[in-house]
Amino acid sequence: MSNPINRFPNPVLPGDHPDPSVVRVGSDYYVVTSTFQYFPGVMIHHSRDLVHWKPIGHVITRRSQLDLTGVPDSHGVFAPDISYYDGKFWVVVPYFHGQPRCTNVLYVADCPEGPYSDGIVLNHHFIDPSIFNDDDGRRYLAFGGGWVQELAGDGSRLVGEPKQVWPGTGGSTPEAPHILKRSGWYYLLLAEGGTAFGHKETIARSRSVWGPYEPCPLNPVLTQRDPNKPLQKAGHGKLVDDPHGNWWMLHLGGRPLTPNGSTPLGRETFLEPVRWTDDGWLEVGDSGEPAEWIELPAGMERLPDQHTYAVDAVNALDETDRFTEPRLSPVWEWVRHPLQDSFRLTGEGLELDCAPYSLYVPGETLLLTRRWEHFAFEAEVRLSFEPQTLGEEAGLLLYRDMDGMLLVSIRNGIGQTAGQKLDVSRLHEKQEYDGLYLQIDRSEKCFRNQLYQQKLEVAIGTDIWLKTRLDAINRRFTFTYSTDGVKYEPIDLTVPADFLYPENFARYKCYTAPRVGLFALGVMYQPQGKALFKQFTYRGQTD
Report, as residue numbers or ranges, the catalytic residues.
19, 175
Gap between the Cα atoms of 373 and 490, Å rounded: 25
Residue 223: name the closest of 240, 211, 237, 212 by CA: 237
Strands (E), 27-125: 28-32, 38-39, 41-47, 54-60, 76-77, 81-85, 88-96, 102-109, 120-123
**Which residues sit opposite 269 in a β-bridge?**
13, 252
Beta-carbon count within 10 A of 129 CB? 29
Which of 326, 346, 394 has its CA nearest to residue 366? 394
Q: How far apart are CA 95 and CA 72, in angstroms?
A: 12
In whole angstroms, give the CA distance from residue 398 to residue 24: 35
Residue 497's nearest CA partner among 394, 393, 317, 376 is: 376
Report the SS3 class of residue 361.
coil
Percentages helix, strand, coil for the chain, rounded to the nearest 5?
0, 50, 50
DSSP class of residue 11 equals P
Q: Which residues contact 358 (CB under 8 A, 6 or more apart)?
A: none
Q: How far is CA 357 from the centre of its chain?
A: 23
CA pair distance 89, 82, nearest whole angstrom: 7
Is residue 230 classed as helix, strand or coil in its secondary structure? coil
Question: Which of 257, 249, 250, 254 is closest to 267 using CA atoms?
Answer: 254
